[in-house]
């Protein structure tokens, strides 16, 4: 008999016993082991299985560790078990459990060739649950069971042994078969749509584990490998139950390494993480959703939803922390503590807490981790204290095609770099509605590099598109900065520098506007700012100097708006104003 790929469908049921269990979903059984062909052994070595365990008296999901016994029968009732395995300590969290059948007791040969096949489950010393669940199987392809059986397909006719051949009205088929060089195997079949052994033999030599594959022109034998390091996570019920399935799937991976990586593939759905849990990633285990708009990992009442790790990637999904509303709490969607994960096509949202961070990348010194963020959207809002979309502290991420949006809090910052050296390329940082400060990008010490960054600060108290403090050494190329003050008391500054920070700006556009005369394209207080081939636009003053210790140098740029304000030193070289009046320098417009 040919080996077949098996699928098990587990119907949605609630089984009655001292405890009850419900099982949902369709589970493909992969052949376990390193690159083991699908049909080489005639069946799987392990089956990944999950279910929901409830108290029959109340219907409430159970928690704790339970002994479970699993058995396979060919009958729905009574009979002798063909296989049995007891797992002494199965973790059940909010009713949900995950097990690998076959983990300790191997399946007998050809077990999954039996039909029908029923699974019986027993929890502890309780009676087995009834009814047993039938495992439905679906053939997926034609598999060669063994190479020496390839010509003896079930669909072939054996002329010497088959009554059908002997009794056939077309007896010449028997005669021809007897003379065949294929040792009595018929080269043709008396049925429509059948493929004879002879025809299969003309395709080419067959190796164990191969499948018959149509490449668009002809039939060819190919080796087929089923995934054995990919864990599929599907929604089974409520968001909380789905979240437990996800946590258990990750916890069940214990052999991952850089040379033995795994993938958790999450189907569309909402997966909720509840206190005290957190989705702690593992090295060499990537987590992949089905798209940012359809796979959602949500945290309710937790500090962090996901924690990253070195050597792993989070991709194609969204992570959200909805907070708990407390002014003393912190809500973080993704936290990377001293780690350098990869975030790709990820949307992170956080809200509704005292301190809100969508993404937090944090040290410690001197490790200076370096996460890689590509096509990432970070959104933070509704915080009573700090609201920061992306915060980098003693961490120097590589940020490409990143959007950071922060709004509605006390101090609102789209991107904050503290003692960090991030590389920001094609980044959009937008901040709005901060009651005290609203800042697009805030650089505190460190040495950030900003290439093609768009920074906006609007509708807050004090608005700064880019703020540099505490001796930060910042390199800026291709910046588009806009600061807008929308109230009578609001200030607006395009690029603001304090505390001996050093800033170099090239090829940028810096604009500041306000309903009052309280704004400037550049404000320099005890810092050094060098600007070339850029445009500075502001009505009150293109440059405002905060102290005698500040130095500003402008070359080959447009300075449109008000005059340069005192004190400090400003040197211009080859600049022009909005009327194209040219100033060779050192005086400025």
Lowest pLDDT segment from 204-218, 362-376, 560-574: 204-218
Residue spans of beta strands (DSSP E) within 354-461: 355-362, 372-383, 386-393, 398-418, 423-444, 449-458
Does 208 score more than 70 pLDDT?
A: no
Q: What is the DSSP letter of 22?
A: E
**Cβ-based neighbours of 169, under 8 Å, separated by 6 or more:** none
Polymer length in residues for the chain: 589
Q: Report pLDDT for 194.
A: 59
Find out whether the peptide bond into 321 is cis, omega within 30 degrees of 0.
no
Q: What is the DSSP letter of 128?
A: P
> Do 347 and 318 form a contact (C-beta atoms < 8 A)?
yes
Local confidence band at 299 (pLDDT 50, 70, 90 cut-offs): very high
> Do 320 and 296 form a contact (C-beta atoms < 8 A)?
yes
Select the more confidently predicted residue: 70 or 202. Answer: 70
Strands 47-54 and 569-573: unpaired
Local confidence band at 224 (pLDDT 50, 70, 90 cut-offs): low
Separation between Cα atoms, residue 480 and residue 508, nearest integer Å = 6
Q: What is the pLDDT of residues 410-433, one digit of tens each?
A: 999 999 999 999 999 999 999 999
Does 443 score more than 60 pLDDT?
A: yes
Lowest pLDDT segment from 288-297, 496-505, 565-574: 565-574
Separation between Cα atoms, residue 420 and residue 369, nearest integer Å = 10
Select the more confidently predicted residue: 47 or 354. Answer: 354
**3-state helix vs strand vs coil in the chain, percent to 5:** 5, 50, 45
Separation between Cα atoms, residue 391 and residue 195, nearest integer Å = 64
Q: Report pLDDT for 42.
A: 47
Alpha-helical segments (H) within 317-429: none
> Do 392 and 422 form a contact (C-beta atoms < 8 A)?
yes
Tokens of 562: 């008000």
Strands 575-576 and 582-583: antiparallel
In 3D space, the residue among 62, 51, 47 whose CA is nearest the CA of residue 24 turns out to be 51
Tokens of 179: 């003379």
Separation between Cα atoms, residue 394 and residue 366, nearest integer Å = 8
> Do 7 and 137 form a contact (C-beta atoms < 8 A)?
yes
Please tell me whether residue 377 adopts helix, strand or coil conformation: strand
> Do 459 and 438 form a contact (C-beta atoms < 8 A)?
yes
Does 75 score more than 90 pLDDT?
A: yes
Separation between Cα atoms, residue 56 and residue 493, nearest integer Å = 65
Separation between Cα atoms, residue 465 and residue 463, nearest integer Å = 7
Does 174 score more than 50 pLDDT?
A: no
Tokens of 138: 């679906």
> Do 314 and 341 form a contact (C-beta atoms < 8 A)?
yes
569 burial level (CB within 10 Å; 0-12, 13-18, 19+): middle
> Do 391 and 330 form a contact (C-beta atoms < 8 A)?
no
């Amino acid at each position: 008999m040919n080996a077949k790929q098996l699928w098990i469908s587990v119907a949605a049921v609630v089984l009655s016993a001292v405890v009850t269990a419900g099982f949902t979903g369709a589970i493909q059984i992969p052949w376990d082991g390193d690159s083991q062909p699908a049909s080489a052994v005639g069946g799987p070595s392990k089956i990944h299985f999950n279910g929901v365990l409830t108290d029959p008296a109340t219907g409430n999901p159970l928690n704790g560790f339970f002994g479970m016994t699993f058995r396979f029968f060919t009958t729905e009732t009574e009979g002798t078990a063909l296989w049995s395995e007891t797992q002494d300590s199965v973790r059940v969290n909010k009713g949900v459990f995950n097990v690998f059948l076959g983990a300790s007791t191997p399946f007998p040969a050809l077990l999954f060739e039996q039909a029908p096949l029923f699974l019986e489950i027993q929890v502890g010393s309780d009676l087995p649950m009834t009814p047993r669940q039938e495992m439905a199987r679906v053939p997926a392809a034609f598999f060669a069971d063994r190479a020496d059986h390839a010509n003896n397909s079930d669909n072939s006719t054996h002329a010497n042994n088959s009554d059908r051949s002997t009794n056939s009205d077309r007896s010449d088929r028997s005669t021809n078969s007897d003379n065949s060089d294929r040792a009595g195997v018929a080269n043709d079949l008396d049925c429509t749509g059948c493929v004879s052994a002879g025809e299969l033999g003309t395709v080419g030599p067959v190796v164990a584990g191969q499948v018959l594959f149509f490449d668009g022109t002809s039939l060819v034998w190919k080796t087929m490998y089923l995934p054995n390091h990919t864990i599929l996570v599907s929604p089974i019920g409520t968001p909380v139950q789905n979240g437990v399935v996800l946590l258990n799937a990750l916890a069940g991976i214990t052999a991952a390494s850089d040379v033995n990586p795994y993938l958790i593939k999450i189907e569309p759905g909402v997966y909720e993480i509840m206190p005290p849990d957190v989705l702690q990633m593992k090295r060499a285990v990537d987590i992949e959703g089905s798209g940012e708009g359809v796979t959602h990992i949500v945290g309710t009442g937790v500090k962090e939803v996901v924690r990253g790790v070195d050597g792993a990637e989070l991709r194609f999904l969204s992570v959200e922390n909805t907070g708990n509303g407390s002014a003393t709490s912190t809500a973080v969607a993704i936290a990377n503590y001293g780690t350098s994960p990869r975030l790709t096509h990820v949307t992170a949202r956080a809200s509704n807490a005292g301190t809100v961070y969508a993404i937090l990348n944090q040290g410690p010194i001197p490790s200076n981790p370096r996460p890689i963020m590509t096509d990432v959207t970070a959104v933070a809002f509704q915080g009573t204290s700090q609201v920061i979309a992306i915060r980098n502290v003693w961490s120097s991420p590589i940020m490409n095609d990143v959007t950071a949006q922060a709004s509605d809090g006390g101090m609102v910052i789209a991107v904050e770099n503290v003692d960090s050296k991030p590389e920001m390329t094609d980044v959009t940082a937008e901040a709005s509605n901060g009651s005290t400060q609203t800042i697009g990008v805030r650089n505190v010490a460190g040495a950030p590099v900003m290439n093609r960054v768009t920074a906006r600060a609007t509708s807050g108290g004090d608005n700064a598109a880019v703020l540099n403090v505490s001796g930060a050494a910042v390199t800026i190329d291709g910046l588009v900065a806009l600061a807008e003050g929308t109230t009578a008391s609001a200030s607006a500054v395009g690029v603001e520098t304090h505390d001996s920070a050093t800033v170099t700006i090239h090829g940028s556009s810096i604009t500041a506007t306000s309903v009052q005369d309280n704004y400037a394209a550049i404000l320099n207080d005890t810092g050094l700012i060098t600007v070339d081939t850029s445009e500075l636009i502001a009505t009150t003053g293109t440059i405002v100097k905060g102290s005698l210790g500040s130095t500003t140098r402008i070359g080959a740029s447009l300075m449109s708006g008000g005059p340069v304000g005192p004190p400090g030193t400003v040197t211009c070289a080859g600049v022009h104003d909005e009327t194209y009046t040219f100033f060779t320098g050192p005086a400025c417009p």
